[in-house]
Copies of this chain bind each other. A is one copy, B any other.
Amino acid sequence: MTPEEERTAEGILYTDFYQLTMAQLYFRYGMHERDAQFDHFFRSYPDYGTHQAGYCINAGLQWLVEWMQTARFGEGEIAFLRSQKSASGQQLFADDFLAWLKQHGTFEGISIDAIPEGRVVHPNIPLTTVRGPMAMAQVLETALLNRLNYQTLIATKAARIHQAGRGRSVLEFGLRRAQDKAGNAGARAALIGGADFTSNVGLSSLMGLPPKGTHAHSMVQVFMALGQGELEAFRAYADVYPDDCLLLVDTIDTLNSGVPNAIRVFEELRQKGHEPVGIRLDSGDLAHLSIRAARMLNDAGFRDVRIVLSNQIDELVLLQVLSQIEEEAKAYGVDADHLIGRLIYGVGTRLITSAGDAALDGVYKLVAVCQDDEWKPAIKLSETVTKVPNPGHKRAWRLYDRRQRATADLLGLYEEDPAAMDPVILRHPTQADTSRTIKRENLTAIEPLHVDILREGKLVYDFPPLEAIREQRRADLERLDPGVQRLVNPHIYHVSLTEKLWNLKRDLIREYK
């Protein structure tokens, strides 16, 4: 694969073949430039088996839009499509369609409304709404789902791990177990959702952050193979990095070799006027070893050096480790709060793969088609009533109660305004006999969730810097009920429809049944 071939494979052909066969059909039937609207949303939170998410963190939009602005059909793309044959041996894509694609096959006619990155999001609320000429809005589907599903999945996992870690630093260490080139998107999403830094150097350079990491077991092994030992390896590290000395202590034996050797080197450093940074534990019982190591460090006068925990960490492992520390620390003369306060988590495989649920079920559904300047709502029936998408051009609002907490997301038709409703009636999205009524006076805010991103291909949004996205995430999580944030069996957050939208959906279903 040459770099040129790689660019082709990651360009506009990064899509499913049926998008192109459908595009040609729309072209043949004169529908290709007719405006259509697609909603991107997920149907259910990640379910990790033994634990479940009660919210997601939206991510991925900026990189998708940047890709859209460069993707187009060049000579190579057209040549490949021209080479495709029908079962009868004829050219599958006709020359007139290919000529149209060459000239108009860009995303320059596409408009996007979306919920910004970093926001808390919930099922069935469109995260992204795409309007534009039908053929290209259809071609966009695959890349959009590919980019947005994955980053939202990983940002969500990162938020959970950050939450389980009680605010201590989370370092993203997953590049080696990431899915090929997704390591960059995954690290970016982790940084949005809850990781403070990443070990990924290239991605750190993109995000303007310092990458993190010190040394691996192999450095200690090199010294051992050359007839020296762990102590010499640690001394070498302290020599080269006297102010950044964080030592991995489990290459030989954590408590009998690693920690004592680290303490010896820390003492030597201190004598030279440098303060050591910490140790890292990467195997064994992390709770027990961190208590024992903390005791040894405390006794040696290093109460402030950090203890980095790594090795198969996720939100449940952290729950367990911290609870075990709280039970067990005292018996070893260690203050649990002080120990927890000095922890840092290096999180690899289980964050970058969203262990337990490795895909978000985000979908991209046609909800309206424009005919004679009038938008016609579209619907897809389904064997499962919960899978029938909400039709039409819509908006979503977040309702805040008197405690300033988000109490529901409300999905309605574009022309509606819940601020003018009193009371606000929230219809259950699928159960006809279930609704909730809130007096307007009991709502402190009704916040529209979508912002304009693209208007006919033109960017009308300033993508915020990482720190602003994180600030949005923190603000949203503060306003989210703790029950909804519970790591296991969370409360269900209300996602509701307005009366008007509910009625439209019911009428369309009746019409087609």
Interface of A is mostly: mixed
Q: A85-B210, A142-B175 are contacts. A219–B383 as well, Cβ < 8 Å?
A: no
Binds B, one of A116-124, A195-203, A261-269, A317-325: A195-203
| Residues of B with C-beta under 8 A to A252 | 381, 512
Q: Is the CB of B146 within 8 A of A283?
A: no
Q: Is the CB of A134 within 8 A of B226?
A: no
Binds B, one of A2-10, A404-412, A451-459, A483-491: A2-10
Decide yes or no whether A24 CB sits under 8 A from chain B. Answer: yes
Q: A146-B183, A213-B16, A283-B383 are contacts. A225–B366 as well, Cβ < 8 Å?
A: yes
Copies of this chain present: 2
Convert A80-94 into 0s and 1s, putting 1 for each residue whose CB lies closer than 8 angstroms to a CB of B.
Answer: 100011111010100
Taking a contact as CB atoms closer than 8 A, the residue among B212, B217, B380 that contacts A251 in the complex is B380
- In the complex, the chain B residue whose C-beta lies closest to that of A348 is B359
Within 8 A of B (CB), among A354-381: 354-355, 358-361, 364-366, 368-369, 371, 376-381
* Interface size classification for chain A: 35 or more
Convert A220-254 into 0s and 1s, putting 1 for each residue whose CB lies closer than 8 angstroms to a CB of B.
Answer: 11101111000000001101111110000011111
- In the complex, the chain B residue whose C-beta lies closest to that of A245 is B87
Q: How far is the CB of A178 from chain B (nearest CB, A)?
A: 6
Decide yes or no whether A271 CB sits under 8 A from chain B. Answer: no
Convert A253-295 into 0s and 1s, putting 1 for each residue whose CB lies closer than 8 angstroms to a CB of B.
Answer: 1100000000000000000000001000001100000000000
Decide yes or no whether A31 CB sits under 8 A from chain B. Answer: yes
- In the complex, the chain B residue whose C-beta lies closest to that of A352 is B359
Q: Which of A19, A185, A201, A360 has the most CB of B within 10 A?
A: A201
| Residues of B with C-beta under 8 A to A38 | 218
Q: Is the CB of B283 within 8 A of A382?
A: yes
Q: Is the CB of A8 within 8 A of B383?
A: no
Q: Which 9 A-B pairs have the closest CB atoms?
A: A18-B213, A13-B202, A180-B185, A179-B182, A9-B202, A17-B211, A17-B213, A145-B176, A358-B358
Known: A218-B380, A283-B382. 14 other contacts (CB 8 A): A9-B203, A17-B200, A18-B214, A22-B219, A25-B219, A80-B205, A86-B243, A87-B277, A141-B176, A150-B178, A151-B180, A222-B378, A251-B381, A353-B359
